[in-house]
């Protein structure tokens, strides 16, 4: 079946550092791709999405580009803040089911 693989955490960065969290997917066709974020004690919420190849999703300074040729959707942010500390989940949707990666925990130190 389809799967989503993302880099293992935790990732620990200092404030204002550059962030990359890698994500690859195996779904064939043209799934929609998502990044969700889970802040401590809260449910998952959508961070950004891209629905077709070469689309770039962006929100709150985070960006990810849908790369069909490498089946990837890496999350990036140029300058992280302490408030970005959370767990980040990559996901793809083909049909009725959304498949999530295992999550990457990010710690940002002041």
Closer of 29 and 43 to other proteins (Cβ)? 43
Stretch that binds other proteins, among 16-24, 30-38, 57-65, 74-82 (CB under 8 A): 30-38
What count of Cα atoms within 13 Å lies in the side-chain half-sphere of residue 22? 6
Closer of 6 and 71 to other proteins (Cβ)? 6
- Among the listed residues 13, 26, 43, 35, the one whose alpha carbon sits nearest the alpha carbon of residue 88: 35
Site string for other proteins, 1-20 (x = CB under 8 A): ---x----------------
Q: Please state, in angstroms and rounded to a whole number, the distance separating the CA atoms of residues 10 and 46.
A: 20
99 is a site residue for other proteins (CB under 8 A): yes
Instruction: Copy the structure tokens of residue 14.
Output: 């200092």
25 is a site residue for other proteins (CB under 8 A): no
CA angle, 50 as apex, 4 and 39 as ends, to 5°?
A: 65
For other proteins, the binding residues (CB under 8 A) are 4, 32, 34, 36, 41-46, 49, 51, 89, 93, 95-103
């Amino acid at each position: 079946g389809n799967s989503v693989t993302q880099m293992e955490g935790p990732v620990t960065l200092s404030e204002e550092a550059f962030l990359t969290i890698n994500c690859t997917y195996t779904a064939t066709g043209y799934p929609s791709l998502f990044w969700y974020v889970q802040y401590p004690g809260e449910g998952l919420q959508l961070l950004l999405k891209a629905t077709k190849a070469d689309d770039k999703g962006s929100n709150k300074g985070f960006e990810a580009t849908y790369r069909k040729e490498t089946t990837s959707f890496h999350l990036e942010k140029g300058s992280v803040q302490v408030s970005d500390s959370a767990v980040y989940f990559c996901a793809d949707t083909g049909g009725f089911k959304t498949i999530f990666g295992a999550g990457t925990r990010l710690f940002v130190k002041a």
